[in-house]
Amino acid sequence: MTAEPDTTINVNSQDLQALGNAGINKADIEKMLHALATDLRSGNEAAVHDQANGLTAAEIEILREGGAYGLDDTFPGALARSRRLAVMRLQLEFKQLQRDSLYASAVAELLGISAARVRQLTNPGNPGLYSFKGARSKAWFPRWQFVESSVIPHLRLVLQTLSPQAHPVTVQQFMTQVNNDLWSSELEENLSPRDWLIAGYPAEPVLSLIRDI
């Protein structure tokens, strides 16, 4: 008699709490696993095997910057799995970013301006606010660009320099993670681009860095 396959996936309570704190629920995880299984069943792995090393040099570099691992393994199956895991991670981070961001109406209330003015400030030709499209093409505004009831200093310069193709998750990580090139001699520590600007330092070092993302 053939034994039934074990369909239970064990996740410890600390992992569940961390995922919950990030706004990632059971349904999100189930969708990601289903997407991965569907991809495997569709035969996409065989298509990846036809490529030299499974990934291009540019793709490998992008995934490395995003924290992907196992990219030095030349076994095509391992590379394919690494890419899928990196994509799953990006999808989860995007969901978390969307849940942490503000609606246009909330931004209007925070800044004390009209909803029409918020829309004007998202004009791609001269942006004064950063937004991205979420579900049903709704605009979302990440919190990193706000401080108290205003925007961070030099935000307009940052947005004018930022590539329109930059992924919202990449932008969020760049603006909020400590950067080794932004050393504050007064505070004796490295700062994130966001904190650097809030602290009153010149924008140019941040602008120089953001050109590369």
Q: List strand residue ranges (DSSP E) for 16-145, in order.
A: 132-133, 139-140
CA 87 – CA 48 distance, rounded (Å): 15
CA 207 – CA 203 distance, rounded (Å): 6
pTM (2 decimals)? 0.64
DSSP string, 34-53: HHHHHHHHTTHHHHHHTSTT
pLDDT of residue 191: 97
pLDDT of residue 101: 95
pLDDT of residue 33: 63
Per-position pLDDT tens, the chain of length 213 = 555 555 666 666 666 665 665 556 666 666 666 655 655 555 554 433 433 344 455 555 555 555 554 555 554 555 566 667 777 788 888 888 989 999 999 999 999 999 999 999 998 888 999 999 876 778 999 999 999 999 999 999 999 999 988 999 999 999 999 999 999 999 999 999 999 999 999 999 999 999 988
Sequence-distant (≥ 6) Cβ neighbours of residue 169 within 8 angstroms: 90, 93, 94, 97
